[in-house]
């Protein structure tokens, strides 16, 4: 039941909020939409604990993960599209689960955009990084450690998915509605940036997956978290 509720929230309610918010308000209330999605992103995390309240140390750890993700994006600001956010979110999700992955990905987008600038694209970034984290946890959490190349492949696919989701926003922002032919045009035009996303994710995962996974698992096991 808990799993069904989580799926309904993340893959039904969040997209409904995303698209209803756009079509009802035409980009004018993106701050409210971002806040709603941020709150929804936290719900599965707390449902995960059922009757047990999350330990204060667990909440602090979540805040630290999000802060690291935000700072990492800012540090690479001079290089468009080349960011470690997706890779870091994937690694966190592999160790701490899909609920944590969605929350870290979604909140990293909304908080880092306080530096990069908020706009109607923010909710789409939140959803994109959120589902990247969610499926990373779903596919790799608790799995054998010999998985690096599968994780790198997932990182490459994540770069494609992120770009395709952002192209949906681009299409909506140009047309009064979604025109598939125009969408394909934007996908083609953004292909170089998509390649940068793919390369970025793969490189950061190749560099960070093993050492960072060891650190995160050590923290998890030492303090009995999650």
Sign of CA dihedral 186, 188, 189, 190: positive
| CATH numbers and ranges of domains, the chain | 2-223 (1.10.1760.20)
Dump pLDDT digits (tens) for 156-201: 999 999 999 999 989 988 877 788 999 999 999 999 999 999 999 9
Instruction: Please report, to the nearest 10 degrees, the dihedral formed by the alpha carbons of residues 124, 16, 46, 116 taken in order.
Output: 20
Of 108-117, 137-146, 153-162, 179-188, the poorest mean pLDDT is in 137-146
Dump pLDDT digits (tens) for 208-217: 999 999 999 9
Dump pLDDT digits (tens) for 3-50: 788 888 888 888 888 887 777 766 667 778 888 899 898 888 877 765
pLDDT of residue 92: 96
The reported pTM is 0.91
Dump pLDDT digits (tens) for 63-95: 999 999 999 999 999 999 999 999 999 999 999
Q: Which residue has the higher pLDDT, 146 or 150?
A: 150
Rounded Cα gap, residues 131 and 14, in angstroms? 11
Task: Give the distance from CA 110 to its chain's centroid.
Answer: 10
Q: Per-residue DSSP letters for 29-86?
A: THHHHHHHHHHHHHHHHHHTTTTSPPPHHHHHHHHHHHHHHHHHHHHTTTSTT--SHH
């Amino acid at each position: 039941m808990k799993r069904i509720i989580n799926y309904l929230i993340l893959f039904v309610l969040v997209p409904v909020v995303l698209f209803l918010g756009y079509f009802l308000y035409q980009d004018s209330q993106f701050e409210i939409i971002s806040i709603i999605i941020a709150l929804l992103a936290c719900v599965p995390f707390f449902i995960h604990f059922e009757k047990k309240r999350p330990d204060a140390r667990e909440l602090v750890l979540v805040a630290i993960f999000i802060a690291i993700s935000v700072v990492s994006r800012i540090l690479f600001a001079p290089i468009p599209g080349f960011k470690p956010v997706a890779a870091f979110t994937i690694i966190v999700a592999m160790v701490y689960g899909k609920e944590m992955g969605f929350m870290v990905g979604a909140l990293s987008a909304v908080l880092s955009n306080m530096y990069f600038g908020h706009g109607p694209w923010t909710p789409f970034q939140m959803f994109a990084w959120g589902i990247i984290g969610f499926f990373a946890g779903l596919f790799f959490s608790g799995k054998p450690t010999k998985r690096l190349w599968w994780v790198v492949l997932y990182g490459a696919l994540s770069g494609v998915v992120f770009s395709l989701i952002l192209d949906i926003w681009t299409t909506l922002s140009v047309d009064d509605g979604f025109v598939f032919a125009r969408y394909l045009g934007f996908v083609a035009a953004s292909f170089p940036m998509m390649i940068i996303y793919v390369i970025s994710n793969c490189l950061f995962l190749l560099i960070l997956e093993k050492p960072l996974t060891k650190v995160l698992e050590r923290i998890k096991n030492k303090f009995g978290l999650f």
